[in-house]
Amino acid sequence: MVPNLISVIIPTRNRAAMVRQAVESALAQKSVSLELIVVDDGSQDDTPSLLASYGEAVLRLRLDPSQGVSAARNAGILVSRGEWIAFLDSDDLWLPGKLRAQLDYFRQHSHMRICQTEEIWIHKGRRRNPKKYHAKPSGWCFERLLERCLVSPSAVMLHRSLLDEVGLFDESLPACEDYDLWLRIGCRHPIGLVPRPLVIKRGGHEDQLSATTPALDRFRLLALSRLLKTAPLCPTQRAQAFHVLQKKASIYAAGCLKRGKTDEASWALNLAQVGSSISQKTPASRFSA
């Protein structure tokens, strides 16, 4: 581990034009020491030649065939050397000073090991304002993280030791892998916030996971179920997690029944039932926030 070095990890697939902009926004960060790692997840466009044009400024990895965004991020983490790790999705951009602001935050809050910044949302080329329930949390926020994913990979910087503690992205989840990781972190640690919009989050493209992966709630249910089984939740956290699992499973099952997917509905309700039995057990390792 190299002290004060920030390892920036960009996963990408078939986004040559967009990833160029992402790379440029990362390389433009000033007053920080960084290594930039771009993981090409089996691209079939001009991405390989584009990345090669940066020479030694970019450490290039390639997964072939494609293995998904979790595997791509994990591959970057495993070769990285920095004390700090920052993620940048290939369709997003950083504004100047993003990394410096987060390093300054950690120096002022030495007990914190993860923080994110505010974002500017652009959907299909037009600015969109987030709703009140999208407000980014600050501090101990596990209960809010259960309801929806309120941490953005492109806005996060975290200390390497956090991933040693909670593990990497779950490669068995084709989507909602970030929701899963933030829950594993949020039940153990507070999450800081730099209240400045230093990320441009661009959405609405056809290849986004939210558009190409059906039944996203299925993977949120899996994440919640695994959290109940494996995380060191205190009794309050355990009850909160089960409540959200039960609620989401009921909604998901009702939707499945409307579409005639009875087996999938039964799966979801059974998952909630298993979660009920787990939530009533005394955890082997109690953690109190």
* Final residue before a domain boundary, out of 212, 244, 260: 212
Q: Is residue 272 part of a domain?
A: yes
Query: What pLDDT, in 10s, does the model give residues 141-159?
Result: 999 999 999 999 999 999 9
> What pLDDT does residue 204 have?
74
Strand ranges in the chain using DSSP code E only, listed in sequence order: 2-12, 33-41, 59-63, 82-87, 93-94, 114-123, 126-128, 156-159, 192-203
Query: What pLDDT, in 10s, does the model give residues 58-84?
Result: 999 999 999 999 999 999 999 999 999
Which helix (H) or strand (E) segment is 253 a member of?
helix 235-258
Closest CA to 129 of 178, 193, 201, 192: 201
Q: Is residue 237 part of a domain?
A: yes
* Final residue before a domain boundary, out of 174, 191, 212: 212
Query: What pLDDT, in 10s, does the model give residues 252-279?
Result: 999 999 999 999 999 999 998 876 766 6
Do 234 and 181 share a structural domain?
no
Domains of the chain: total:
2
Residue range 108-126: mean pLDDT, rounded: 95
Count the residues in the chain.
289
Whether pTM exceeds 0.85: yes
Give the CA radius of gyration of the chain.
19
Q: Collapsing DSSP states into helix, strand and coil, what is residue 150?
A: coil
Do 253 and 170 share a structural domain?
no
Q: Yes or no: say if 190 and 148 are a contact pair by the CB < 8 Å rule.
A: no
Q: Which domain does 232 fall in, by range?
A: 216-279
| pLDDT above 70: percentage of residues in the chain | 92
Do 243 and 135 share a structural domain?
no
Do 226 and 177 share a structural domain?
no
Do 163 and 20 share a structural domain?
yes
Do 236 and 203 share a structural domain?
no
In the predicted structure, residue 235 carries a pLDDT above the cut 60: yes
> What pLDDT does residue 27 have?
98
Q: Collapsing DSSP states into helix, strand and coil, what is residue 53?
A: coil
Do 10 and 74 share a structural domain?
yes
* Final residue before a domain boundary, out of 170, 197, 212: 212
Q: Is residue 191 part of a domain?
A: yes
Q: Is residue 287 part of a domain?
A: no
